[in-house]
């Protein structure tokens, strides 16, 4: 889980929307990190490429906090 969490943080930092110092496991992307829905969509696309997983649109709501996102991706990787 730690690897997935840290890699997601790296992706988020490269997006340039949130600062690393603002990121906590329970920080809400929209409320705490100033993400717009389009930013979350882009984060999901970047995560798909970085982790080589497919994330269906009906699962996009799983990306609400950093922890939720890392947990979701970790589960996808275990299924592969």
* Integer Cα distance of 52 and 76 in angstroms: 10
pTM of the model: 0.90
- CB burial of 51-68 (b: ≥16 within 10 Å; e: otherwise) equals beeebeeeeeebbbbbeb
Q: Dump pLDDT digits (tens) for 19-37.
A: 999 999 999 999 999 999 9
pLDDT value for 57: 95
* Integer Cα distance of 14 and 52 in angstroms: 18
pLDDT value for 79: 86
* Integer Cα distance of 34 and 18 in angstroms: 7
* Domains located in the chain, CATH noted: 1-76 (1.10.1200.10)
Which residue numbers in the chain have pLDDT < 50?
none
C-alpha 5 chain-centroid distance: 8
């Amino acid at each position: 889980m730690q690897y997935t969490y840290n890699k997601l943080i790296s992706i988020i930092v490269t997006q340039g929307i949130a600062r690393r110092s603002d990121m906590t496991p329970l920080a809400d992307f929209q409320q705490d990190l100033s993400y717009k829905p389009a930013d979350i969509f882009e984060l999901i696309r970047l995560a798909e490429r970085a982790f080589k997983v497919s994330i269906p649109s009906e699962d996009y709501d799983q990306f609400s906090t950093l922890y939720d996102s890392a947990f979701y991706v970790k589960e996808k990787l275990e299924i592969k």
